[in-house]
Amino acid sequence: MSFDPTVRPRDHFTPRRGWLNDPNGLVHHDGEYHLFFQHHPHDLVHGPISWGHAVSADLVDWTELPTALVASDDEHMWSGSVVHDATNSSGLGSDGVGPLVALYTSFDPTTLRQAQSLAHSSDRGRTWLPHPDNPVLDIGSTSFRDPKVHRDGDGWTMVIVRADDRVVDLYRSPDLLGWTHHSSFGPEGSVEGVWECPDLVRVPVEGTDEAADVLLVSVSAGAPAGGSGMQYFVGELTDAGFRSTQPARWCDHGADCYAAISYADAPGTGPVVQGWMSNWLYADTIPAADFRGSMTLARRLVLRPDADGLALLQRPVVRPGTVACELAGTDVDGEQVLPVAARTCRVVAELEAGSAQRFGLRVRVGAGERTTVVVDPAARTIAVDRTEAGTSPHPAFAAVHTAPLPRRDVVRLEVVVDVASVEVFADDGEVVLTDQVLPDPGSTGLTVFAEGGTAHVRSLTVLE
Ligand code: FRU
């Protein structure tokens, strides 16, 4: 029994070959979602990074295209963003048609300099032309990276980190080419790791006409599940800059969601983000054959008021799926095996604690293997236990990741299970745990369980 790295995830993007980390340049344009990504096509570890490229109509099925920005000996293409310059403010479009414009960090492996460069595409992202005046923003730093640009009135705003300083800088530009420093935010919140991959999004407040500005910041160390993770600041963006209006919170209590940024121009209400499903602590130890690394599911963001302010909710973009098994109005005492064999599935459930001390789901169950999603109503927590989930490639991997669960009597769960991951969205996405797991392909069992009493299954649906 062991994990088989040649079996690909079904609903999570993986590169044809080589190494993948952060998503880059997420944009919806001309009916396509573009996912660019940090890519070393010739090796299974980080190295001279290019921008890989894939497109999708629905954020679930991806088609990989040729490498978009190719690394050279003196320029590695680090993380950044893409916008559609619809008004051709850059003047780089032809025949008055606005181009796609990428802003990315040029990393010089000799001097370690990190400066921001621009490339544009006039053929729907298929081919890219670096600007002759690159870099377009250079402060002479070895710790200045990950520009994320969005349209702002007539011009553009960029958020970018001074990573070692734990600062997000805002820059403004009328034309994407010339950038002026506007304001700075930080250090604040978690500062144990360096800051990376910022994004500033406007998120609607559920059930109201209101919205708030939310700053997403990835931190390379000190996250709740160990290693790298993401924090968010709810706040407001004014002419003076961004300021937080409540303390920082963690986006995810699992170990494996990093560097998530939003899709520019995504249709629908509220931002859609997607992250790298790994952790710098052990990313290069994950068993691999042809490729190493995958993305999380895309998630739509919304805010919901709670006792301390506003909570950021994440709702996954999923395949509708067909019902494989259903339960309703059943009591569980002990472990109930569900009549399905699922290597990949989605479970949607509403569970009530009853007298149980612990209850939840076990997925990817096999001989000696299981990943447990467990609610402890007295402690008001939900956890993903991957201590018996299969292969453990690193000492920090086999661990229990625990999140506070504000509502404790009825728990709404959406759990997306794939070949090498479990993503848990509890209470409508208010509590999220994203975890890689490395079970045997034959571990396909699914159970619902209650310990120390009886739990009540109001409803449970397994979708395949
Ligand atoms: C985040 C990160 C970015 C950098 C990129 C390099 O995971 O470290 O800050 O641009 O990866 O691949």
Q: Indicate which CATH number applies to the domain containing 447.
A: 2.60.120.560
State whether 119 and 219 are in the same domain. yes
* Residue 225: per-residue pLDDT: 98
The number of helices, as runs of H, and strands, as runs of E, in the chain is 0, 32
- List the structure tokens of 242: 């961004």
State whether 296 and 406 are in the same domain. no
Cβ atoms of 259 and 276 within 8 Å: the answer is yes
What mean pLDDT is predicted for residues 267-275? 98
Domain end (from 316, 351, 368): 316
Lookup result for tokens 């619902």:
448
State whether 261 and 389 are in the same domain. no
Number of folded domains that form the chain: 2
Give the integer Cα–Cα distance in Å for 298 and 261.
10
Domain end (from 316, 342, 370): 316
Residue 59 has pLDDT above 90, yes or no: yes
State whether 300 and 327 are in the same domain. no
* Ligand 1 centre distance from Cα of residue 143 (Å): 11
* Residue 96: per-residue pLDDT: 80
Q: Residues 4, 11, 22, 265: which is the catalytic one?
A: 22
Cis amide prior to 66 (ω within 30 degrees): no
Residue 1 has pLDDT above 80, yes or no: no
Give the integer Cα–Cα distance in Å for 442 and 2.
9
pLDDT in tens, 211-254: 999 999 999 999 999 999 999 999 999 999 999 999 999 999 99
Residues 6+ apart with CB under 8 A from 95: none
- List the structure tokens of 458: 């109001």
Give the closest residue (by CA) to ligand 1 atom 8: 196
Q: Which amino acid is at 113?
A: R
Atom of ligand 1 nearest to the CA of 146: 10
Q: Is residue 2 part of a domain?
A: no
* Ligand 1 centre distance from Cα of residue 196 (Å): 7
* Phi and psi, residue 334, nearest 5°: 95, -145
State whether 202 and 151 are in the same domain. yes
Give the closest residue (by CA) to ligand 1 atom 12: 78
Cβ atoms of 67 and 52 within 8 Å: the answer is yes
Triad 170, 171, 173: Cα angle to 5°: 145
Half-sphere exposure of 81 (CA within 13 A, CB side): 31
State whether 342 and 307 are in the same domain. no
Q: Is residue 7 part of a domain?
A: no
Q: Which of 19, 20, 22 to mutate to test the pocket of ligand 1 (most atoms within 8 A of CB)?
A: 22
State whether 273 and 332 are in the same domain. no
Residue 390 DSSP symbol: S
Atom of ligand 1 nearest to the CA of 163: 9
What mean pLDDT is predicted for residues 281-287? 98
* Residue 387: per-residue pLDDT: 98
State whether 390 and 449 are in the same domain. yes
Atom of ligand 1 nearest to the CA of 114: 10
Please indicate whether residue 138 is annotated as part of the active site. Answer: no
Cβ atoms of 448 and 372 within 8 Å: the answer is no
Q: Order of strands across the sheet with 63-69?
A: 63-69, 50-56, 32-40, 18-29, 291-292
pLDDT in tens, 397-445: 999 999 999 876 799 999 999 999 999 999 999 999 999 999 999 999 9
* Ligand 1 centre distance from Cα of residue 62 (Å): 22
* Ligand 1 centre distance from Cα of residue 268 (Å): 29
Q: Which amino acid is at 128?
A: W
State whether 312 and 419 are in the same domain. no
**SS3 assignment, position 428:** helix
State whether 45 and 89 are in the same domain. yes
Domain that residue 271 falls in: 18-316
Q: Is residue 4 part of a domain?
A: no
Global pTM reads 0.98
Residue 141 has pLDDT above 80, yes or no: yes
Domain end (from 287, 316, 345): 316
Residues with CB under 6 A from ligand 1: 21-22, 38, 49, 78-79, 105, 145-146, 196-197, 259
- List the structure tokens of 183: 């304001």
Domain holding 232: CATH number? 2.115.10.20
Cβ atoms of 146 and 196 within 8 Å: the answer is yes
Q: Which of 24, 38, 199, 274 to mutate to test the pocket of ligand 1 (most atoms within 8 A of CB)?
A: 38
* Ligand 1 centre distance from Cα of residue 188 (Å): 20
Cβ atoms of 55 and 65 within 8 Å: the answer is yes
* Ligand 1 centre distance from Cα of residue 299 (Å): 21
Q: Which of 21, 114, 257 to mutate to test the pocket of ligand 1 (most atoms within 8 A of CB)?
A: 21
Instruction: Label residue 392 by pLDDT band (50, 70, 90).
Output: very high
Cβ atoms of 300 and 283 within 8 Å: the answer is no
